[in-house]
């Protein structure tokens, strides 16, 4: 089989696009703007085909939008600070900056070879002072608005590596690198007060209709708002009170004991001087040791100990014992709970172990209670609850909360699982925290005119071993005059979490060279929010939450006119090899280079876009790439074999309604394909089915019987040329090099990406299409527009490939598939 000369073609167009600045966009006009953003990568070195999916989808989308008449902004940059650079640098003995810049260079070359084109003059790298100057500026703004503060917090410390580790580097309580059990250390840390925005972050999720439901749900769970009440239990024989947070005040008559966390500040007061003091203290100490020893970190034990003290249940006046147990977390609610063993399973198990009374106070409205085998955790009707008997849980919640408030024994409260964001890192390769500690003035921000605080490149960047940042070793860095009193002061030596760098980068792209401010507000106002954000679902929580937080902050201080940074989000599925996520550490990566050498970048792109619905995981198959390559060769032949007359026939006018036979069929197929591609790519980016449609069109073109009619200038030639023109434009976003080349050979001077997508004449397709109704178990689940007259086998295939049906089947094979010709498919499961 003869192959089209992809090597020369690809090289030629990559060069041409770079020279002509295909994706370089003037932002002075924002009419019809389309900001297409791919999550900027960590410059880890080589990209494999798994990474390719993200960038190739994004590139195809940007090209498509251009052809749909949008002004497209498609920038790219580098999330370039972080631990891997430091680790690699330690191993290979080169400076992290050098390592990072080399990787950036290599990855840019890869993008270039894939035909993935960006607005490179807008490139940013978070490790460059021109960028991190503004990350530091953001820190100072947060500080000035009371949203950055310092407090002592525990960090993960590896006694063997003598360094602080990020949470992600702690695997089952041990150091990722040396396997030593990590311990907890208390250090002064900087935090951002993201909890101030908890409600806004939660409530505005409702406005994100174009985000995957899964991601919205993950954010919701992460913030996790609970409405409840604080209830005071008065400690007997003292004037102290224990405040407990509960989401179920309706169960309060069933509270038969109280439990506080081992770190609760009142523990000392409760047990001090009592006969049980030594025993309780021993328990608390052993708990603490266990917590530090790794294993128990995530799963606190179920043990507990009686303190010897009691408290009064405020509703029924009964005396209940106070226990200490680690299943009550220090950091959540008030660190103390009223235990209701009848209706909370953890309390139930605890009561069984320590032989504490279990009483039923909620009875289900319908169905049976799980008591006495297990706690009944649902809502219901109150029993054994005095004058609240007979009320529903919701009614009783309100009445009891009101009563507690009236008696000053409690109040309604809201709790969140979301914690403030710990941003200090005791590591070298990050943006220095722009704060100064002065003996006389306290903590003082670096004045904005003195930013950036440069990361010194002549310090020993190895961790020091004492929990301090390597920056503390540089006297030149450390010593500074206090900006307020001019006296001797010291710089903060920590660097920022790299998630701070990526929390605002999408704003910087619109004015990457602005030396006066972090971003040009006007341009940001007209070009943002980002229209389409594309990235991996692994960022569903942290990165997206932090970016939303920073946007909300900037909105609050009047710097951006929008509350949400990303209007639409698309999370692509992973490419797997042998069932596992492709990754260097698993040794199952497929390198794109040999594939490009053997088949060309367009074939690789087509393969990646064709490999199943883009939101779902898919398995890499070496053999399918050949099919993709064959298809492209076929498209070339469709042109080459008839090029003499295609070029001469492109502008032939004909009356579409007067066509018959093969000509009529080809014209219909062309319009059908145009319509199908547009619909498949709108909203859902189903490149796979769009490509199928172009394949069908190509089939029809091959079968088009030319003989008699294919005189240059004839109607038949005109129809064929029209189909060829459409095929090239439809495929251009997916396989840009070969299409750009065909386009040029068809006589066009301007890039195909400056041309428009072909328009379908719906009337012409309608006659030849039917609406296929697809049912599951005789219930209508989907409809699909398809060409009329397809055989049953094809209808069956179409029905099973329908995305909605696939979603509902969730991988379950159908029992039977009934087909009613030209109308309906019923999938029986």
Tell me which residues touch ligand ANZ (CB under 6 A). 226, 245-248, 251, 328-329, 332-333, 335, 337-338, 340, 343-344, 415
CB of 201 or CB of 510, closer to ligand ANZ? 201
Question: How does strand 769-776 pair with strand 824-828?
Answer: parallel
**How does DSSP assign 593-632, residue by residue?**
HHHHHHH-HHHHHHHHHHSS-TTS-EE--TTHHHHHHHHH
CB under 5 to 8 A by kind: which of Zn ion, ligand ANZ, none does 647 bind? none
- 676: partner contacted, choices Zn ion, ligand ANZ, none (Cβ within 5-8 A by kind): none
Structure tokens at 703: 């079968």
The answer to whether the CB of 314 falls within 8 A of the CB of 232 is yes
Residue 226 touches which member of ligand ANZ, Zn ion, none, C-beta under 5-8 Å by kind: ligand ANZ
441 binds Zn ion per the rule CB under 5 A: yes
d(CA 289, CA 550): 38
Partner from Zn ion, ligand ANZ, none contacting 828, C-beta within 5 to 8 A by type: none
CA atoms within 13 A on the CB side of 440: 9
Listed ranges 199-207, 482-490, 532-540, 769-777: which one lies at the site for Zn ion (CB under 5 A): 482-490
Q: Which of 90, 98, 178, 485 binds Zn ion (CB under 5 A)?
A: 485
769 has which bridge partners?
787
**Looking at 1-9, 427-435, 479-487, 749-757, which segment touches Zn ion (CB under 5 A)?**
479-487
| SS3 (DSSP) at 733 | coil
Could you say which of ligand ANZ, Zn ion, none residue 344 binds, taking C-beta under 5 to 8 angstroms by partner kind?
Answer: ligand ANZ
Nearer to ligand ANZ, 335 or 758 (CB): 335
Is residue 430 within 8 Å of residue 497, measured between CB atoms? yes
- Closest CB to Zn ion among 351 and 433? 433
Q: Is 484 among the residues that bind Zn ion (CB under 5 A)?
A: yes
Binder of residue 729, out of ligand ANZ, Zn ion, none (CB less than 5 to 8 A by kind): none
Q: How far apart are CA 575 and CA 572, in angstroms?
A: 9
Compute the distance between CA of residue 306 and CA of residue 296 in angstroms, rounded to an integer. 21
441 binding partner (options Zn ion, ligand ANZ, none; Cβ < 5 to 8 Å by kind):
Zn ion
Q: Supply the minimum distance, in Å, between the C-beta of residue 449 and Zn ion.
A: 17
Strands 170-171 and 174-175: antiparallel
Q: Which is nearer to ligand ANZ, 246 or 670 (CB)?
A: 246
Q: How far apart, in whole angstroms, are the C-alpha atoms of residue 311 and residue 232? A: 9
Cβ atoms of residues 338 and 346 within 8 Å: no
- Residue 1: name the closest of 528, 811, 559, 633 by CA: 633
Q: Which stretch binds Zn ion (CB under 5 A): 70-78, 208-216, 480-488, 540-548?
A: 480-488
374 binds, among Zn ion, ligand ANZ, none (CB under 5 to 8 A by kind): none
Asked if 440 touches Zn ion (CB under 5 A), the answer is: yes
CA distance linking residue 419 with residue 332, whole number of Å: 9
Q: Which is nearer to Zn ion, 485 or 828 (CB)?
A: 485
Question: How far is it between the farthest Cα atoms of the chain?
Answer: 109
From residue 486 to residue 525, the character string flagging contacts with Zn ion as x (rule: CB under 5 A) and all else as - is: -x--------------------------------------
Output 346 or 581, the one with its CB closest to ligand ANZ: 346
d(CA 348, CA 374): 7
- Least separation in angstroms between CB 225 and ligand ANZ: 8
Does residue 289 touch Zn ion according to CB under 5 A? no
**Secondary structure element (H or E) that encloses residue 698, with its range:** helix 687-703
Nearest alpha-carbon partner for 483 in 150, 140, 132, 127: 140
Q: H-helix or E-strand containing 241?
A: strand 241-246
Return the residue of 22, 431, 435, 482 that touches Zn ion, per CB under 5 A.
Answer: 482
CB of 306 to Zn ion, least distance (A): 52
Binding at 737: pick from ligand ANZ, Zn ion, none (beta carbon under 5-8 Å per type): none
Tokens at 454, concatenated: 């440069």
481 part of the interface to Zn ion, by CB under 5 A: no
Residue 484 binding partner per list ligand ANZ, Zn ion, none, with a CB distance cut-off of 5 to 8 Å that depends on partner kind: Zn ion
Cα→Cα distances 756→219, 280, 443, 635, Å? 39, 77, 58, 20
Place of tokens 């806004």: 200
- Closest to Zn ion by CB, 372 vs 487, is 487
- The alpha carbon torsion through 345, 348, 349, 351 (nearest 10 deg) reads 160
User: For residues 117 and 227, what is the distance between their CA atoms, to the nearest angstrom?
Assistant: 49
Q: Give CA–CA dist 695/689, Å, rounded.
A: 10
Q: Which is nearer to Zn ion, 482 or 799 (CB)?
A: 482
Q: In this structure, what are the phi and psi dihedrals at residue 528, rounded to the nearest 5 degrees?
A: -115, 165
Cβ nearer to ligand ANZ, comparing 160 with 221: 221
What is the per-residue binding string for Zn ion in 38-77, x denoting contact by CB under 5 A?
----------------------------------------
Please state the closest distance from residue 375 (CB atom) to ligand ANZ, in A: 7
Q: Which is nearer to ligand ANZ, 245 or 645 (CB)?
A: 245
Is 483 or 627 the residue whose CB approaches Zn ion more closely?
483
DSSP state of 507: H
CB of 284 or CB of 444, closer to Zn ion: 444
Binding site for Zn ion (CB under 5 A): 438, 440-441, 482, 484-485, 487
């Amino acid at each position: 089989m003869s192959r089209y000369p992809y090597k020369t073609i690809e090289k030629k167009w990559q060069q041409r696009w770079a020279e002509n600045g295909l994706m370089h966009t003037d932002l002075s006009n924002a009419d019809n703007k389309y900001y297409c953003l791919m999550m900027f990568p960590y410059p880890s070195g080589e990209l494999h085909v798994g990474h390719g999916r993200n960038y190739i989808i994004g590139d195809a989308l940007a090209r498509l939008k251009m052809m749909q008449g949008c002004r497209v902004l498609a920038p790219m940059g580098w999330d370039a600070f972080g631990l891997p650079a430091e680790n690699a640098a330690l191993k290979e003995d080169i400076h992290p900056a050098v390592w990072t810049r080399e990787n950036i260079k290599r990855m840019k070359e890869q993008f270039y070879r894939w035909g993935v084109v960006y607005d490179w003059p807008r490139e940013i790298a978070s490790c460059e002072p021109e960028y991190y100057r503004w990350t530091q500026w953001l820190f100072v703004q947060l500080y000035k608005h009371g949203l950055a503060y310092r407090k002592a917090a525990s960090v993960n410390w590896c006694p063997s590596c003598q360094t602080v580790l990020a949470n992600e580097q702690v695997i089952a309580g041990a150091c990722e690198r040396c396997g030593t059990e990590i311990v907890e250390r208390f250090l002064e840390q900087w935090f951002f007060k993201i909890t101030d925005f908890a409600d806004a972050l939660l409530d505005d999720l409702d406005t994100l209709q174009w985000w995957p439901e899964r991601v919205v749900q993950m954010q919701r769970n992460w913030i996790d708002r609970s409405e409840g009440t604080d209830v005071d239990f008065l400690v007997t024989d003292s004037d102290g009170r224990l405040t407990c947070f509960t989401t179920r005040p309706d169960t309060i008559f069933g509270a038969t004991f109280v439990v506080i966390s081992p770190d609760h500040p009142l523990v000392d007061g409760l047990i001090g001087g009592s006969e049980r003091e030594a025993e309780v203290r021993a328990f608390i100490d052993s708990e603490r040791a266990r917590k530090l020893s790794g294993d128990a970190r995530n799963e606190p034990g179920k043990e507990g100990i009686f303190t010897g003290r009691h408290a009064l249940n405020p509703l029924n006046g009964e005396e209940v014992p106070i226990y200490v147990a680690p299943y009550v977390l220090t950091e959540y609610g008030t660190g103390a709970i009223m235990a209701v063993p009848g209706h909370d399973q953890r309390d139930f198990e605890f009561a069984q172990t320590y032989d504490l009374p279990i009483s039923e106070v909620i009875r289900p409205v319908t169905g049976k209670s799980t008591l006495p085998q297990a706690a009944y955790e649902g809502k219901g009707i109150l029993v054994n609850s005095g004058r609240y008997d007979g009320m529903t849980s919701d009614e009783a919640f309100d009445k009891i909360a009101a009563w507690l408030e009236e008696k000053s024994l409690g109040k309604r409260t809201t709790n969140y699982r979301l914690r403030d964001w710990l941003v200090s890192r005791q590591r070298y390769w990050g943006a220095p925290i722009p704060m100064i500690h002065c003996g006389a003035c306290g903590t003082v921000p670096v004045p904005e005119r003195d930013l950036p605080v440069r990361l010194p490149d002549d310090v020993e960047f190895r961790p020091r071993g004492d929990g301090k940042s390597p920056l503390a070793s540089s006297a030149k860095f450390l010593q500074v005059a206090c900006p307020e009193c001019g006296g001797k002061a010291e710089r903060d030596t920590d660097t920022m979490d790299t998630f701070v760098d990526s929390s605002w980068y999408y704003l910087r792209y619109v004015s990457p060279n602005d030396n006066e401010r972090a971003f040009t507000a006007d341009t940001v106002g007209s070009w943002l929010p980002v229209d389409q954000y594309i990235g991996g679902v692994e960022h569903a929580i942290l990165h997206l939450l932090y970016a939303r937080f920073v946007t909300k902050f900037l909105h609050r201080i009047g710097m951006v006119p929008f509350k949400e940074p990303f209007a639409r989000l698309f999370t692509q599925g992973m490419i797997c090899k042998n069932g596992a996520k492709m990754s260097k550490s698993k040794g199952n990566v497929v390198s794109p280079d040999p594939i490009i050498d053997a088949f060309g970048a367009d074939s690789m792109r087509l393969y990646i876009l064709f490999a199943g619905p883009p939101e779902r995981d898919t398995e890499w198959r070496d053999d399918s790439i050949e099919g993709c390559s064959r298809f492209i060769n076929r498209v070339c032949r469709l042109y080459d074999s008839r090029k003499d007359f295609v070029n001469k026939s492109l502008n032939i006018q004909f009356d579409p309604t007067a066509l018959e036979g093969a000509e009529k069929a080809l014209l219909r197929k062309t319009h059908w394909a145009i319509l199908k591609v547009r619909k498949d790519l709108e909203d859902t980016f189903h490149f796979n089915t769009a490509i199928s449609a172009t394949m069908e069109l190509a089939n029809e073109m091959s079968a088009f019987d030319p003989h008699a009619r294919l005189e240059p200038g004839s109607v038949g030639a005109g129809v064929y040329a029209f189909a060829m023109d459409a095929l090239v434009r439809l495929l251009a976003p997916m396989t840009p090099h070969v299409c750009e080349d065909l386009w040029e050979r068809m006589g066009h001077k301007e890039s195909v990406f400056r041309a428009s997508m072909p328009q379908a004449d719906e009337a012409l397709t309608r006659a030849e299409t039917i609406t296929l109704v697809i049912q599951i178990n005789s219930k209508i689940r989907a409809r699909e527009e398809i060409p009329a007259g397809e055989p049953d086998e094809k209808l069956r295939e179409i029905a099973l490939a329908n995305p909605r049906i696939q979603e509902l089947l969730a991988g379950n094979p159908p029992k039977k598939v009934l087909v009613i010709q030209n109308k309906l498919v019923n999938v029986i499961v």
